Amino acid sequence: AQKVTQAQTEISVVEKEDVTLDCVYETRDTTYYLFWYKQPPSGELVFLIRRNSFDEQNEISGRYSWNFQKSTSSFNFTITASQVVDSAVYFCALSEAGGHQFYFGTGTSLTVIP
Amino acid sequence: GAVVSQHPSRVICKSGTSVKIECRSLDFQATTMFWYRQFPKQSLMLMATSNEGSKATYEQGVEKDKFLINHASLTLSTLTVTSAHPEDSSFYICSTYRGGRTDTQYFGPGTRLTVL
């Protein structure tokens, strides 16, 4: 069963628009970690955020914000005032405590049009 | 700075040759490293878990005789693609696991393999 679902395969927005990338996860563990990574065309995965299951506080970092809702098993990522440099593939991932394995979503390809 | 390095970043080889990819943990000793493969426009697929001093654990469907993994030291794991074929062309990414408070995987920059 898919543990991490990113239903949006591709998104295009015009520069300065806000965009939200959805991530829904599935786990039976009470302790787990959620991640977002950015993969620009160069291919290198860029770590954006790590959130543990006990911390439901939303987080903001500059133009980036994350909304973690355990009730809906979602960990959505919003980019405010998008820029062309935000164009990349974004992956959501789940790691269950006690195991090292990451479960990646299928990724959302974001294109920001100037 | 970079936590994990990979070498080479890009390699082109002829069909039938073997290619070795190195993954180095720069900042800490990594008893566990992971190898992923990513096809164009697809997600990362875990190939194997590399454990220092022991045999790697391969995911279902991954040929262990074709993808040889050696984790001889706490800072180096190597993936050798033996008798490479065009269908092995892919982006290979390694990661190191750091437990404790961080409990995070750190990813290398990836190696793009093209088999002609």
Q: Indicate whether A30 pLDDT > 70.
A: yes
Which of A44, A47, A100 lies at the smallest CB-CB distance from B32?
Answer: A100
Q: In terms of pLDDT, which residue wins out, A103 or A98?
A: A103
- Mean pLDDT (chain B, rounded): 91
pLDDT band at A99 (very low <50, low <70, confident <90, very high): low
> Distance between the two ends of chain A, CA-based, in angstroms?
38
Closest CA–CA distance from residue A106 to any residue of chain B (Å): 5
How far is B36 from B107, CA to CA, in rounded Å?
Answer: 10
pLDDT at B54 (0 to 100)? 85
Least confident of A11-15, B9-13, B38-42: B38-42
How far is A37 from A45, CA to CA, in rounded Å?
Answer: 6
Question: Which residues lie below 8 Å from residue B57, measured CB to CB, with a gap of 6+?
Answer: B48, B49, B51
User: What number of C-beta contacts closer than 8 Å exist between A and B?
Assistant: 48
Q: What is the mean pLDDT of residues A101-108?
A: 90
Q: Indicate whether B109 pLDDT > 70.
A: yes
How far is A104 from B96, CA to CA, in rounded Å?
Answer: 16
The letter for the amino acid at A110 is: L
